[in-house]
Chains A and B, each alone.
Chain A
Amino acid sequence: MMLTVLALTPLVGALVLAFWPRSADPRSAKAVALLVSVVALVLAIVIALQYDPGAGYQFVEEREWIPAIGAHYALGLNGIGLTLVLLTTILTPLVILAAWGDRLPDPSRTNSYLAWMLALEGLAIGVFAATDVFLFYVLFEATLVPLYFLIGAYGGAGRSYAAVKFLIYNLVGGLLMLAAIVGLYALTAEAGEPSFLHSDLLGLEIGEGTERLLFLGFFIAFAIKAPLWPLHTWLPDAAASASASTSVLMVSIVDKIGTFAMIRWCLEIFPGASQWASPVVLILAVVSILYGALLAIGQDDLRRLIAFTSVSHFGFIILGIFAFTTLSTAGATLYMFNHGLSTAVLFLVTGMMIARRGSARISDFGGVQKVAPLLAGVLLIGGLSSLSLPGLAPFVSEFMVLAGTFTVSRPLAVAATLGIILAALYILLMYRRTMTGPLAPGSEGVRELDRREVAALAPAVVLIVALGFVPQPLLSVIEPALGPVVAAVSDGDPVPTHPVEAGASEGAHE
């Protein structure tokens, strides 16, 4: 029941907000939204404390939903799901706090703005907890609706185009996945009882050709969501038109569904086809890393820049997943969490800059650190975490991904490492042009962060630093969940070619 309660909390909150009196002070609605998201966070923490890393799926619920087609209402969390549920519940209160001062195109609709955010949180939790692929699909597609309205109704210029582009891209992917799910139904129905349960699908016998087809149906949907080059083009447009809070929900949480689902549904259900596809996927991932980074360097719009850095980071995550080693997949999962935090900081702080300056163009800023040192500092920390500075959380995960990939393919690992250098370029160039130098005309109005904004940013910054030094608590939850995945999809981790003998490393170079 715990998971149902957790997912329903924000959904009920969204309903309450939808009917909240509009004439009332919008602050009351904002307080309700914040309260609901904090309650969800507390529930998630309670769940995390009760979670036992070694025990597989927990908090399992299973009820028949549509008997005629074998669909179940089935929820359960493993380490990967728990990590992402935590990410979702941590970020939502921050996002709502940051959205407190958003100037909406139509201020009378603050209630529905917050209601859509809470609805999205509830659906995302459901997606991460679903262990029935039909339920997963339904929630996966349902997340499109709130996000579509968040972009289309509460964004900036060009929002309607961006919203439609976002929806069509994701719908095409989702519908291909629907075809694959229909295929799974036909297969399980042939084998006896139709079923969509994760546990039933694990043991399903699928012919090689069919498996590859079904895999493609799933994978393309997730590659669009994640997004993987060349299916990424919806993301920069959506991020450039959405409000900062919407962008965080979209990139930090909803896009993670893509990478999360690659592990749960592609690798686990179609291990053979995943192996078959991995050479191509790995190359696409590396292209994503480099392409996203190169384009990020050339951007003049802060939001587009962050969107392209995310394309690059998602490349790392997918690289880690499809390298099929314990190290790289664990790194990729940790990366999902860390990238969520660092992107949230970047989107929120640049959103605050944009709101103050009235422009998203990097060339309109300059010397801001003179008037707003705290803001500059947070941008720097967010940026440095994005370029994986050692000591900040993303470094650990990126290192794990690269080290894991290295044992599988050196050329790819080397090419991917270039991405780190490019990351330094795009972040530091951006920082230099906006924050240093003489104060640009028009940037005088960039105020320092106020207390509410500090409250919205501080938790994420603290977590980034803390996880940079002590990633072990999360890793200890993630790693046991990945054991069976890696075992299913590869023949175990590659043996090092030059094993390090115990004790031999000390004094070896003397």
Chain B
Amino acid sequence: MIAPTADTPIPAAQIDYVALSPLLVVAGFAVLGLVLEAALPRRRRFLVQAVVTAVGLVIALVASVMVYLDLPDVAEAERVARGAVEAEGAVTVDGPGVLTWIVLVVFALLSLGLFAERRFEAGLSPFTGRAADVPGSREESEAVTHRLEHTEVFPLVLFALSGMMLFATANDLITMFVALEVLSLPLYVLCAVARRRRLISQEAALKYFLLGAFSSVFFLYGAALAYGYAGSLNLTLIDEAVTARSDSGGLLLVAMAMIAVGLLFKIGAVPFHAWTPDVYQGAPTPVTAFMAAATKAAAFVALMRVFFVAFGGASWDWRPTIWVVAVLTMVFGSIVAIAQTDVKRMLAYSSIAHAGFLLVGFSAAYLGVADGLSVTSVSSVLFYLFVYGVATIGAFAIVTVVRDSAGETTHLARWAGLGRQSPWLAGAFTLFMLSFAGIPLTAGFIGKWGVFAAAWAGGTWPLVVIGVLASALAAYFYVRVVVLMFFTEPVGDGPAVAAPGVLTTVVIALAAIATVVLGIVPGPMLDVVQHAGAFVR
């Protein structure tokens, strides 16, 4: 770099604000939320914050769709691709990236319904009234008496969302690192503020924070080594260095390994999964829903972007490792889930298993043929992320409804006989379980089919066979829940089901409808993910 002197003025950065508008809207509304937090009287904050957040998300959704429709075709690309590198090479606004924005904003909107639900706690939000109080102390009950609420959760969600959106579209490793931190820090806080079972919630946050910080450092170290190897942090320039290499590149291998560790941690792949069950269990359920769906989506797209764009030329070096990780993740997640007795922990291990299935699609590194008509790694993973996220949010929404006087009853034994008591609720949960298990006529089936098709086309059919066997294992514990709900006599009084509020009902219904419709007519959605094309370099 040449230091700027008086003779060489610093050129103004070329930034296409329109293309970046969804990102800016989300971040802007997050800041607006902070201002409101300071300006509004306590009594009116909750409603205003919830509405402002919703408005921000809807605007971001509309903006994302407009940006998506306006994406320019990339001329002279090997494969169909749409979009361009923006903001001086820091962000790539391309088909898969913008589609991820849309998916993330949809997830946030659905989760918002759970964040804003105040029916279950006698008119209070699912978050603790005053996080600074010692759990079980006199101050805590005082906070309840005064009906205190932490309305900061809404801006925190928006900050996390803006981090995720940037994470999925970052085109250099530093931007990606900043995005990683922007998305992680609010989530650490959100994990700690459950209203019930606060100790376990705080423990979850601490665990997530320590391990998350640790993995971020791995990522940063990997980025530094990649800079050492390629002389740049820009993914496109790293790609040029990797493609043009002539040596075996020991430095490159270490860099890739470190970056992979950082990203696989966020995805929850074995052996970097240890935080998942504790955090999923301890965090407030709305946060768990948001985190499980959105973090995974953002991190997966980032993973694909780094490894397809920057390290695509070295795919034969990293693919075998990812195969091993994928197999471990699928098998481990499925087997350990069988032994779980807590719904949220079970869903956590299920999310680990799903990370494995997604890795199968990713590790095939199948970029499709020139005309872009066949199912590729990118399109199949995008579809899977969407249907998995929707079903996950729906499932966690149901977890918030099944409760007794002490809050949510997440022990599986207490779910026995739910089907007798509330057949619709249990039916919806069954639907999500069947979708997770990949039973045809649910969206999960098409999702699984897609990643397996990409894997087979990429030449890794043994992974497909292991994948279907792991699916059978996984089906066992999903079906066990169905058995419990429908065929088992309830213990004692059976599960207490709170009448869900309008918001939660809408979230569950939307998730269920999406799961069925995408299972029966997946064509249009598949066309959309196909149309997104490849990553733009």
Contact = CB atoms under 8 A, between A and B. Distances in A.
Contact of B472 (A164, A168, A194): A168
B515 to A, nearest CB: 14
Contact of A66 (B373, B456, B461, B526): B526
Nearest to A64: B523
A71 to B, nearest CB: 9
B310 to A, nearest CB: 27
B440 A164 contact: no
A142 B441 contact: yes
Contacts of A458: none
B483 A152 contact: yes
Interface residues of B, number: 42
A69 interface: yes
A186 B456 contact: yes
A59 interface: no
B434 A175 contact: no
Nearest to A106: B420
B466 to A, nearest CB: 9
A152 B483 CA distance: 8
B381 interface: no
Contacts of B526: 66, 68-69
B346 to A, nearest CB: 16
A152 B430 CA distance: 14
Interface in B425-453: 434, 437-441, 445-446, 448-450, 452-453
Interface string A369-413: 000000000000000000000000000000000000000000000
Contact of A67 (B449, B450, B475, B523): B523
B441 A138 contact: yes
Contacts of B476: 164, 168
A194 B374 contact: yes
Contact of A182 (B441, B453, B527): B453
A68 B375 contact: yes
Contacts of A175: 438, 468-469, 471-472
B487 A152 contact: yes
Interface in B462-479: 464-465, 467-469, 471-472, 475-476, 479
Contacts of B457: 185-186, 189-190
Nearest to A151: B487
Contacts of A68: 373, 375, 522-523, 526-527, 530
B453 A164 contact: no
A60 interface: no
Question: Could you say which of A65, A148, A178, A181 has the most chain B C-beta atoms within 10 Å of its C-beta?
Answer: A178
Interface string B271-305: 00000000000000000000000000000000000
Contacts of A168: 472, 475-476, 479
B484 to A, nearest CB: 9
- Tell me what chain A mostly uses at the interface: helix, strand, loop, or mixed: helix
A189 B452 CA distance: 14
Interface in A48-69: 64-69
Interface in A119-171: 137-139, 141-142, 144-145, 148-149, 152-153, 159-160, 163-164, 167-168, 171
A421 interface: no
Contacts of A202: none
Contact of A164 (B434, B455, B479): B479
A185 B380 CA distance: 14
A153 B487 contact: yes
A29 B301 CA distance: 51
A163 B487 contact: yes
A186 B453 contact: yes
B449 A182 contact: yes
A152 B453 CA distance: 33
Contact of A69 (B437, B449, B467, B471): B449
B488 interface: yes
Contacts of B530: 68
A189 B459 CA distance: 13
Interface in A177-208: 178-179, 181-183, 185-186, 189-190, 194
Contact of B440 (A141, A159, A179, A194): A141
Nearest to A183: B456
A5 interface: no
Given A137-B440, A164-B480, A182-B452, A66 B522 contact: yes
B487 A182 contact: no
Given A68-B526, A152-B483, A152-B487, A183 B461 contact: yes
Interface residues of A, number: 39
Contacts of B308: none
Contacts of B386: none
A160 B485 CA distance: 11
B188 interface: no
B427 to A, nearest CB: 10
A15 interface: no
A112 to B, nearest CB: 9
Contacts of B438: 175, 178
A332 B434 CA distance: 35
Contacts of B448: 178
Question: Could you say which of A69, A106, A176, A179 has the most chain B C-beta atoms within 10 Å of its C-beta?
Answer: A179
Given A66-B523, A168-B475, A171-B472, A160 B439 contact: no
B362 interface: no
B486 interface: yes
B527 to A, nearest CB: 6
B486 A69 contact: no
Contacts of A139: 440
Nearest to A189: B374
B479 A65 contact: no
Contact of A65 (B420, B456, B487, B523): B523
Contacts of A183: 456, 461, 464
Interface string B241-273: 000000000000000000000000000000000
Contacts of B449: 69, 178, 181-182
Contacts of A176: 465, 468-469
Contacts of A144: 439
A172 B464 contact: no
A160 B487 contact: yes
A144 B438 CA distance: 13
Interface in B390-438: 420, 434, 437-438
Contacts of B464: 179, 182-183
A126 to B, nearest CB: 11
Contact of A172 (B373, B450, B469, B522): B469
Given A106-B420, A189-B374, 17 more contacts: A66-B526, A68-B527, A69-B375, A69-B526, A142-B440, A145-B434, A153-B486, A164-B479, A167-B475, A171-B437, A172-B472, A175-B472, A176-B465, A179-B452, A182-B452, A182-B453, A182-B455
Interface of A: 64-69, 106, 137-139, 141-142, 144-145, 148-149, 152-153, 159-160, 163-164, 167-168, 171-172, 175-176, 178-179, 181-183, 185-186, 189-190, 194, 213
7 contacts: A67-B527, A68-B522, A152-B483, A164-B480, A178-B438, A178-B452, A182-B455
Which 10 A-B residue pairs are closest in the complex by CB-CB distance? A68-B526, A175-B468, A138-B440, A186-B456, A172-B472, A160-B487, A141-B440, A182-B452, A179-B468, A66-B523
